[in-house]
Structure 1
Amino acid sequence: MSWDTVPGKNSEGYRDPTAATALSNVQRSQRGLQSKRAGEHFENLISASLNWYKDKGVAFIEKTPEPMRPLRPPNRMGQFLACYTKAGQPDFKGTLTGGRAVVFEAKHTDGDRIEYGRLTKEQIDSLTEHHRLGAAAFIMVSFELQDFYRVPWEIWRDMKSRYGHKYMTQAELEPFRVEYIAGVLKLLEGVELDAPDIEQKGDQTNE
């Protein structure tokens, strides 16, 4: 029997999607790649802004390196195959002048809302604990690399009870807008240098 006679299969026996399905798959892949690149650009923008704050003596905050384990020795170009050894932590950690810790995650979207579920359990647990101990913990959000917001952890944490859903629209994010001036995201403007009173009962996450 020839696979040419079997519906949905090509001559080698693999699935042969319709033109519409194939186009949809390509478009989905392209959107994923564009979103990944936009997310990386957002993180680079944050890093450049943090360098500006460092030069001003305001804070020293760095990108959290992802822990990896090499699977084979590097080649002549220094490249090597590796795998992640630990679930992702919040993207950035550091210290404000005066000693207060800063911990935050960066999330980009090209949609019309930012979802609570974009954070992993490990990131939620880490931000919750840092916030409980007095760190300035928040989520930096980018919409299409045009609009930027700094959402305090207690707002993000209680998203469902505050807004009735586990996402935030740009209208709901407006009170947390961050200005982008002369190539710098003013993401630390208004962050208190002194930690508030530590919560005795711990934080409660969205159910």
Structure 2
Amino acid sequence: MDRKKVNMINNAQGKIFENQILAACLGYLYDGRACVDKIPEPFGVTKKDYKTGEFSGRFFSHKKAQPDFQGTVTGGRSIVFEAKKTEKNKIALSVLSSNQEKILEQHYRLGAITGVCVCIKDEFYFVPYALWRLCSEQWDRKYFVPEDLRGFKVKFNGAVNFLDMVNGKAVENMNIFVKE
């Protein structure tokens, strides 16, 4: 399969994953538990035709991208996280751009709940940024495998319930997601 087709498939799968997270965001909002929004992709208009109302544009560099989701959980704490999906057996740390890491680090240092919502094949995890940033030191490698993330597996019911671990714990009550 050519690279263009692979990119189109990966992009479509990424959008489905983000929509599954958005479904959970709506549920959390309805329950009064959290208000979390998807941050739009950086996009710029390159040409406007005022007569027809049409325009051309382009997405900016992946390097300038911010984390995908930001919001507030009950009690007033901020939550900031990136969403990444892979069909491989591991998720590489390099999937985050340097700008995404920088922003997650800033929010982490200020006490926000920070993480990376990950889909490896058909398994869903909400990985604390505190763990993500130390992966190289703890495991002497630059990727996670599902076994590393077992304690951070989240519930899935058509929606990726990123605040609800399968072990019954709630992200907003877990100290590992925030800087002490």
The interval holding the TM-score normalised by the smaller chain is: 0.7 to 0.9
1:56 to 9, 21, 31: 31
Alpha-carbon deviations, 1:138-187, whole Å to 9, x = none?
0000123x210110001000011111100011111212111112x23221
Q: Which amino acid letter does the alignment assign opposite residue 55 of structure 1?
A: Y
- The corresponding residue for 1:38 is 13
Q: Which amino acid letter does the alignment assign opposite residue 172 of structure 1?
A: D
- After superposition, the Cα gap between the structure-2 partners of 1:37 and 1:84, relative to the gap in structure 1 and judged at 3 Å, is closer
- After superposition, the Cα gap between the structure-2 partners of 1:186 and 1:76, relative to the gap in structure 1 and judged at 3 Å, is farther
Figure out how many residues of one structure are paired with residues of the other and give that number.
172
The reply to whether residue 163 of structure 1 matches residue 143 of structure 2 is: no
- 1:131 & 1:35 partners in 2: Cα distance? 29
The reply to whether residue 192 of structure 1 matches residue 167 of structure 2 is: no
Contact 1:69 1:83 in 2 (8 A): yes
Contact 1:59 1:96 in 2 (8 A): yes
Q: Which amino acid letter does the alignment assign opposite residue 171 of structure 1?
A: E
- After superposition, the Cα gap between the structure-2 partners of 1:29 and 1:188, relative to the gap in structure 1 and judged at 3 Å, is same
Q: Which amino acid letter does the alignment assign opposite residue 66 of structure 1?
A: E
- The corresponding residue for 1:112 is 89
Report the structure, 1 or 2, having the larger strand content. 2
Contact 1:96 1:193 in 2 (8 A): no
**Which of 185-194 and 51-60 deviates more?**
185-194
- 1:77 & 1:161 partners in 2: Cα distance? 56
- Work out the percentage of aligned pairs sharing the same amino acid: 34
- 1:170 & 1:123 partners in 2: Cα distance? 22
Please give the TM-score of this superposition, normalised by the length of structure 1: 0.75
- After superposition, the Cα gap between the structure-2 partners of 1:29 and 1:158, relative to the gap in structure 1 and judged at 3 Å, is same
Q: Which amino acid letter does the alignment assign opposite residue 192 of structure 1?
A: E
Secondary structure at 1:134 match in 2: coil
Q: Which amino acid letter does the alignment assign opposite residue 106 of structure 2?
A: E
Segments of 5+ residues of structure 2 without an aligned counterpart are: 165-169
Q: Which has the higher contact order (CA 8 A, sep 6+)?
A: 2
- The corresponding residue for 1:23 is none
Larger Rg: 1
The reply to whether residue 176 of structure 1 matches residue 146 of structure 2 is: no
Contact 1:115 1:168 in 2 (8 A): yes
Deviation at 1:41, TM superposition (A): 0.5
The reply to whether residue 65 of structure 1 matches residue 40 of structure 2 is: yes
Secondary structure at 1:61 match in 2: strand
2:101 to 124, 149, 155: 124
- 2:174 & 2:150 partners in 1: Cα distance? 25
- The corresponding residue for 2:167 is none
Secondary structure at 1:31 match in 2: helix
The reply to whether residue 47 of structure 1 matches residue 22 of structure 2 is: yes
